[in-house]
Chains A and B, each alone.
Chain A
Amino acid sequence: MSVSRDLSILIVDDYRTMLKIIRGLLEQLGFRNVDEATDGQAAYEMIGTKAYDLVISDWNMQPMTGLDLLKKVRCDARTAKLPFIMVTAEAKAENVIAARQAGVNNYIIKPFTQAVLKQKMAAVLGEI
């Protein structure tokens, strides 16, 4: 059985073009319940007020990075298990390891295709 298309997804990126691209790719996959934030701080506040099923976040953002957002999410008992995918241009092995140690569920390198996004979402959420 494939995952519900009603899942609530939060996408976080400081480039509005990237937000549009990810939203467009998600909508093509049938996910229309998508919210946007342009940095980790704004995303963390949104996570505090709404129950999301998945966060797809960039890393390099000010004032709060995607890694700091991930750490805060994992430290909060209410969101500790919230599925979290990092989508970033940061491709150094030590970055991937740091994100993994902080509890990221999957990691996508930019630029990426819809097929890769779908595959990683399936790995985290189940069949799409």
Chain B
Amino acid sequence: MDGLKDDARRAERDVLLTYVRMARGALCELSPSDIRARKLPSAMNQIGLIVETTESAANQIMDQVSEILALPGDISPGAYREAVEARCMSLMEACAFQDLTGQRSTKVIETLLHIEHKLGKLAHLLGDEGDAPPEEPEADVLLNGPAMPGEGVDQDEIDRMFG
């Protein structure tokens, strides 16, 4: 009788052990330290730079529009056209922010998808009966994307490389 109870306890303990090992493996795979130390700070930097870039573009656009509105009314049509065209060029250049912030947003979305995938896998292993874990996101759609401050080379350095 006692032998049967021992067997049942052993089986129950083995099930628990397997469960704990699986959960530990899933937690390990989640790499919380990597997410906290690398992925989240990088994503937060990208969001900070998105804010900075959009603010800078908005300021550039507002400045150019203000300058156009402030052009004196008594200049020649040729001079007026020249002044407006120069500022329109600057307006067009400012709109490049959309490309750069788009690429930075893609980097942030990649991080969120990575975390969603890892958490989904963990929840599934822990018996969450909800949705199946999301697919592993495609690794690095972008190569590096726009450089972070202090990283990469600037146009002058590139010009020297092509000099």
* Chain A partners chain B: yes
Q: Other CB < 8 Å A-B pairs besides A15-B98, A89-B147, A111-B96, 14 of them?
A: A15-B99, A25-B89, A25-B92, A25-B93, A91-B153, A91-B154, A92-B147, A100-B162, A106-B162, A110-B100, A110-B146, A112-B96, A114-B93, A123-B162
Residue picked from B99, B141, B155, B161, most chain A C-beta under 10 Å: B99
Question: In B87-127, which residues have CB < 8 Å from any A CB?
Answer: 89, 92-93, 95-100, 102-103
Task: Determine the residue in chain B with the shortest Cβ distance to A65.
Answer: B143
Tell me the total A-B contact number using a CB cutoff of 8 A. 89
Q: Contacting A89 at CB < 8 Å: which of B85, B100, B157?
A: B100
Number of B residues near A (Cβ < 8 Å) is 28
Contact of B99 among A17, A91, A95, A106 (CB under 8 A): A17
Partner of B144, one of A90, A109, A123: A90
Provide the residues of chain A in CB contact with B100, threshold 8 Å: 89, 110-111
Residues of A within 8 A of B93 (CB): 21, 25, 111-114
| B152 in the interface (beta carbon within 8 A) | yes
Query: Given A25-B89, A106-B162, A107-B158, does the pair A93, B95 have CB atoms closer than 8 Å?
Result: no
Binding site for A on B (CB under 8 A): 85, 89, 92-93, 95-100, 102-103, 141-147, 151-155, 157-158, 161-162
Chain A neighbourhood of B97, CB < 8 A: 111
Contacting residues, chain A, for B147 (C-beta < 8 A): 89, 91-92
